[in-house]
């Protein structure tokens, strides 16, 4: 190939551009024609990556067990982890669930469409593979107009987990999906970067006092205002109170070390390994970390300290740090309210446990 005659720097730039071009070719814009094509692909049993306001999802017909099985295969996801079923509007809820508890009805009316998944008793027709054999199903109506159009055009309900390989960070752009699952999906619709940026809040509505299964894009405070008390399953959050005493374990990507709020300002530079980067919540924190001179790079989640912006940027920033090849990523918890809870939860899940 002619490209072999180029000097190595030029050659890597050309190869990089070709790869990038290849990924962009995989993406389809959100024209009505493409959304109709995506809808009929789902109706025919194919798997399609779709944008939602939270993260990109990998969708299949929720009533077609074989199509749903392809999602698990594409993601390498264990089948004991149930999927969320997405509906185009609340009126389709009855096709999926057997019973809508009164508190769930209140939430549906006030907060749908939006980043809120409600777990309710499932209808018999929902295949076991969707719910991992449970007799409940998580349902959500996304607020992203592209997602809703695709579901509407598919004429069915769409089972969709986040469109990432199992265990990795959820995608918040179509390009993230193309890079990691491009060769495993039938179609990717580009609906722009996700505005919420963390996955939906998941609430189990089958108990008198509903249970928070995952904090997410819908603040728990808004839910409590509408239906009162929520219960939390027992979960121990262990983070590093101070640097040091880190047990090493295998991780394919950067180790994320999560600290209590304010702890990074007091970090001992001698404890920070080479090739380390840090996540700063806002510009003042980034400035303090720069002064400490401990890190090769500081990534800022929201220069002005806006929690919504920080959530929207979180996953993309973690990917950028990973792609830049940092071996360790330092982060600290943000104030634990509103979307801050979802951010802390995702940081904790991504982190190396002490
Ligand atoms: O924002 C979101 O929720 C994104 C977009 C694509 O909608 N989806 C998403 O899906 O994050 P996934 O599969 O990555 O996470 C679904 C979560 C899992 O933690 C799963 O265990 C829980 O929802 N879940 C689903 N159905 C459930 C059920 N019947 N009972 C308990 N948990 C359930
Ligand atoms: Mg996921």
CA of 73 to the centre of ligand 2 (A): 14
* Number of Cα atoms under 13 Å in the Cβ half of residue 22: 10
Other CB atoms within 10 Å distance of the CB of residue 322:
17
199's CB contacts (< 8 A; 6+ apart) are 54, 55, 115, 162, 170, 214, 216, 217, 342
Q: Is the CB of 105 under 6 A from ligand 1?
A: no
Ligand with the closest atom to the CA of 161: 1
Pairwise CA distance, residues 59 & 67, whole Å? 9
Q: pLDDT digits over 271-311, tens only?
A: 999 999 999 999 999 999 999 888 999 999 999 999 999 99
pLDDT at residue 13, rounded to an integer: 72
Residue 293 region by backbone torsions, left for phi larger than 0, else alpha for psi between -120 and 50, else beta: left
CA of 118 to the centre of ligand 1 (A): 10
CA of 57 to the centre of ligand 1 (A): 10
DSSP state of 99: -
Pairwise CA distance, residues 78 & 142, whole Å? 24
Atom from ligand 1 closest to the CA of residue 50: 6
132's CB contacts (< 8 A; 6+ apart) are 79, 80, 81, 82
Q: pLDDT digits over 309-350, tens only?
A: 999 999 999 999 989 999 999 999 999 999 999 999 999 988
CA of 168 to the centre of ligand 2 (A): 8
Ligand with the closest atom to the CA of 165: 2
Pairwise CA distance, residues 65 & 70, whole Å? 9
Ligand with the closest atom to the CA of 214: 1
Q: Is the CB of 84 under 6 A from ligand 1?
A: yes
pLDDT over 90, % of the chain: 78
CA of 128 to the centre of ligand 1 (A): 15
* Number of Cα atoms under 13 Å in the Cβ half of residue 334: 26
Atom from ligand 1 closest to the CA of residue 199: 1
pLDDT at residue 243, rounded to an integer: 40
Q: Is the pLDDT confidence value at 3 over 70?
A: no
Which of 199, 207, 233, 346 has most ligand 1 atoms within 8 Å of its beta carbon, as the pocket-test mutant? 199
Residue whose C-alpha is closest to residue 203's, from 192, 195, 215, 185: 215
Q: CA–CA distance from 305 to each of 235, 298, 336 (Å)? A: 28, 15, 14
Q: Is the pLDDT confidence value at 239 over 80?
A: no
Q: Name the residue with tokens 């047990």.
A: 247
User: Which residues pair with residue 259 across a beta bridge?
Assistant: 240, 332
- Please state which of the ranges 100-104, 164-168, 237-241 shows the lowest mean pLDDT: 237-241
- Average pLDDT for 244-256: 49
Q: Which residue's CA is the closest to the ligand 1 atom numbered 26? A: 138
Q: Which residue's CA is the closest to the ligand 1 atom numbered 13? A: 161
Pairwise CA distance, residues 180 & 48, whole Å? 14
Pairwise CA distance, residues 208 & 220, whole Å? 17
Q: CA–CA distance from 330 to each of 255, 289, 298, 299, 347 (Å)? A: 8, 11, 9, 10, 10
Pairwise CA distance, residues 78 & 309, whole Å? 32
CA of 170 to the centre of ligand 2 (A): 6
Q: Name the residue with tokens 């400035």.
A: 287
Which of 54, 62, 83 has most ligand 1 atoms within 8 Å of its beta carbon, as the pocket-test mutant? 83
Q: Report the DSSP pairing between strands 84-86 and 57-61.
A: unpaired
Please count the helices (runs of H) and the strands (runs of E) in the chain: 12, 14
CA of 138 to the centre of ligand 1 (A): 7
**Would you place residue 79 in the very low, low, confident or very high pLDDT band (cuts 50, 70, 90)?**
confident
pLDDT at residue 25, rounded to an integer: 63
Q: pLDDT digits over 163-217, tens only?
A: 999 888 999 999 999 999 999 999 999 999 999 999 999 999 999 999 999 999 9
Ligand with the closest atom to the CA of 137: 1
Atom from ligand 1 closest to the CA of residue 132: 29
Q: Is the CB of 202 under 6 A from ligand 1?
A: yes
Q: Is the CB of 49 under 6 A from ligand 1?
A: no
Q: What angle do CA 31, 32, 36 make, to 5 degrees?
A: 120
3-state secondary structure of 252: coil
Q: How far apart are the first and last CA of the chain?
A: 50
Q: Are 317 and 333 in contact (CB under 8 A)?
A: no
Pairwise CA distance, residues 49 & 59, whole Å? 6
């Amino acid at each position: 190939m002619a490209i072999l005659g180029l000097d190595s720097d030029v050659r890597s730039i050309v190869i990089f551009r070709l790869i990038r071009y290849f990924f962009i070719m995989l993406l389809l814009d959100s024209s009505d024609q493409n959304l109709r094509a995506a809808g009929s692909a789902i109706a025919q049993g194919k798997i399609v990556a779709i944008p939602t306001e939270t993260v990109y999802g990998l969708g299949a017909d929720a009533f077609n067990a074989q199509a749903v099985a392809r999602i698990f295969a594409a993601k390498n996801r264990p089948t004991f982890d149930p999927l969320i079923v997405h509906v185009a509007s609340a009126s389709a809820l009855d096709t999926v669930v057997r019973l809508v508890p009164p508190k769930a009805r209140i939430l549906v009316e006030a907060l749908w469409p939006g980043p809120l998944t409600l777990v309710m008793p499932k209808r018999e027709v929902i295949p076991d593979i969707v719910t991992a054999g449970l007799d409940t199903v998580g349902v959500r109506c996304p607020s992203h107009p592209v997602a809703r159009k695709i579901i509407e055009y598919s004429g069915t309900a769409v089972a969709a987990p986040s469109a990432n390989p199992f265990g990795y960070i959820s995608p918040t752009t179509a390009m993230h999906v193309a890079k990691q699952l491009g060769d495993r999906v039938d179609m990717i619709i580009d609906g722009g970067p996700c505005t919420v940026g963390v996955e939906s809040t998941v609430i189990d509505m089958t108990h008198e006092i509903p249970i928070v299964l995952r904090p997410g894009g819908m603040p728990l405070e808004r839910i409590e205002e509408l239906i009162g008390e929520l219960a939390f399953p027992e979960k121990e959050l262990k983070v590093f109170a101070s640097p040091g005493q880190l047990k090493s374990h295998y991780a394919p990507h950067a180790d994320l070390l999560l600290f209590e709020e304010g702890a990074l300002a007091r970090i001992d530079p001698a404890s920070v390994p080479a090739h380390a980067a840090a996540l700063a919540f806002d510009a003042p924190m980034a400035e303090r970390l720069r002064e400490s001179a401990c890190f090769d790079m500081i990534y800022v989640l929201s220069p002005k300290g806006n929690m919504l912006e920080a959530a929207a940027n979180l996953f993309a920033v973690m990917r950028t740090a990973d792609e830049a090849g940092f071996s360790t990523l330092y982060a600290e918890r943000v104030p634990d309210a509103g979307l801050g809870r979802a951010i802390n939860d995702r940081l904790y899940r991504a982190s190396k446990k002490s």
